[in-house]
Amino acid sequence: MDTKFSTIYLDGGFVEALSQQHSEVLNPATEHVVGVAPACGAADVDRAVAAARKALTRQDWAGTSGADRARLLERFADELTARADDMATVITSEAGFPAMLTGQVHVQQAIEFVRYFAALVATEQLSESRQTHNSPATVEIRQCPVGVVATLTPWNIPLLGALSKIAPALAAGCTVVHKPAPQTPLSSYLLADAAHAAGFPAGVFNMVPADLAGSRRLVAHPDVDMVAFTGSTAVGREVAESCAKDFRRCALELGGNAAAIILEDASVELISAGLGLTGLALNNGEACIAQRRVLVPRNRHDEIVAVLAGVAQSLKVGDPAQPDTVIGPMITRQHRDRVLDYVSEAAAAGAVVAAGGGIPADLDTGYFVEPTVLANVSNEMRAAREEIFGPVLCVIAYDTIEEAIEIAQDTEYGLSSSVWTADFARGQEVARQLRAGSVYINASLALDPAIPFGGFGSSGIGRELGPEGLNEYRETQAIFTPLG
């Protein structure tokens, strides 16, 4: 497929961008340019928002039934499925994620998001009559689309992050302006092509790759009713401040610093297979939900470090296009260097590098980092307090379960955590004491579209997925009619 683009998708078709600026897309494994996309400014953003606003006003999407929307969403899912192989190849190329991951997770799971929300609204009643408490009247309670939604997604989940927002927004009857990350815009052209083939009314879905000024214009645009954003906590604060000025809604899925609490009875096999592999390899470690801080009983510290180090040393790092590669490159050279800085700073502060800690000796091209295990980490170290976003585990010892919970909670984030134990009841007891949007027992992740996902504290506002995710894109209206 052609990966040199000069167009944007708006008002039902691909049109030339007004912007003459463009951004090159690098394959982080080869450092070669693999595509080009426009870097649009305010003028192109304004066109896309105008198309979405016009489509909302026409009511040929917002005014349809849930069943009608579901049929078109299913068609959209079918068109995405027809492009699944191409999307997986593109995501591996632009983001560096291993081929074993992109097809099954980044693409197929994203398509399941669309089918889930289609099923959710297919038989849904969008209004109900409600008995009044002390008024002689009839009341109709309606679920209305919030309006024009801007979706801004990060480079680490270019399709998953997009469809976790676009699918519920469309299902709710909203119109959408989607802005992909500048590092990974190519897959969004396939997404837009699938939307076009599905036959959404003109302006219901729009896609515009934007530069920083264009992105800020989209977030602040007075005709955007809601912003759905996934990214860093720092940028999330900017988005929230911009929306707050006009009392516009925002849903924010931001950073994380998950703690995996290993209880005394957790088996070596469980830790190795469940935590070692996913904690290090999931999305090359570039995942906000990665169980980065591993909290272990002090008397098992050395044993568990040895287990995790063995896993780290066994993982194949290299060309993500190869089917047996487990960990690919970091997204950019700057990001790779940032990950390595965390490791070297922790080592200087007293942590022990039990595995990895550098650049693989046989990979002098690409932005690779060895899977790394840091032992004897203190929760006061920067590597334990901040989101590393790379294949690095920080092992922290605790003496009592109360101390483990205290360490787990000693963070500004609250996106996810996990508990590892042979006793499910005990695991649930500990989980209920953790302030995190998702807590997993003997797991690091559950990508199920029925399960709401989001965080406490600096990890964001609102929820994605599940009925809760659909309701983020709705307003409730009461129509009051007096009797007699």
15: its two tokens: 């049109």
Phi then psi for 158, rounded to 5 degrees?
-60, -35
417-430 b/e (C-beta count within 10 Å ≥ 16 → b)? bbbbbeeeebbeeb
124 by Cβ neighbours in 10 Å (0-12 / 13-18 / 19+) ranks as middle
Contact 99, 321 (CB under 8 A): yes
CA distances from 178 to 53, 281, 283, 404 (A): 14, 29, 23, 41
Instruction: Map residue 398 onto helix, strand or coil.
Output: strand
Point out which residues pair with 355 in neighbouring strands: 373
Place of tokens 């096999």: 269
Q: At what angle do helices 66-82 and 84-95 cross, to 10 degrees?
A: 70
Closest CA to 297 of 400, 377, 375: 400
Dist. CA 46–CA 348, nearest whole Å: 50
Dist. CA 484–CA 482, nearest whole Å: 7
Dist. CA 290–CA 215, nearest whole Å: 27
DSSP 131-169: --SS-SEEEEEEEEE--EEEEE--TTSTTHHHHHHHHHH
- Count of residues making up the chain: 484
Q: Catalytic site residues?
A: 253
Contact partners, residue 395, CB within 8 Å, separation at least 6: 294, 296, 301, 304, 305, 308, 354, 373, 374, 375, 376, 377
